[in-house]
Amino acid sequence: MVGVMKLTFVYAPTTDLTASLAFYRDTLGLEEAWREGDSTVVFQLPDSDVQLMVSVDPGVGGPIYLVDGVKAFLAEHPDLGAETMEIPDGTMATFTDPAGNSISVLDQQGAE
């Protein structure tokens, strides 16, 4: 086994980042952890290592797990039918569970 899947982010796509920022920060009181340009804002969830990632980048909402290496993970799970993409400092793969829910795994191998 490659290692564990550690829940790192919950991804929430949006078409209006300004409105989403106001909702999560001002209405729900979440603290902004970091940003990526004008497309992504990440909030720290209280008493948790998990962050909420809100972005106008395309994608389906759902959990994002950190793994040691996406390529190794996919090699161990060849039947997932995952789509991969390069992200800053790593790789991300997205697939669905039997009910159609989106699941993503990412590594940060480029961050080393």
Among 83, 29, 26, 87, which residue's Cα sits nearest to residue 55?
A: 87
For the segment 4-17, what is each residue's pLDDT rounded down to a tens digit?
Answer: 899 999 999 999 99
CA distance 58 to 46: 26
Residues 6+ apart with CB under 8 A from 103: 62, 63, 65, 94, 95, 96, 97
Sheet strands (E) in the chain: 6-13, 31-36, 40-44, 51-55, 62-66, 83-87, 90-96, 102-106
pTM attached to this predicted model: 0.85
List the domains of the chain with CATH numbers.
6-111 (3.10.180.10)
Q: According to the model, what pLDDT value does residue 42 have?
A: 97
47-104 pLDDT per residue, tens: 999 999 999 987 788 999 999 999 999 999 999 999 999 988 899 999 999 999 999 9
- Nearest residue to 79 via CA among 92, 97, 62: 97
- pLDDT-derived band at 2 (thresholds 50, 70, 90) equals low
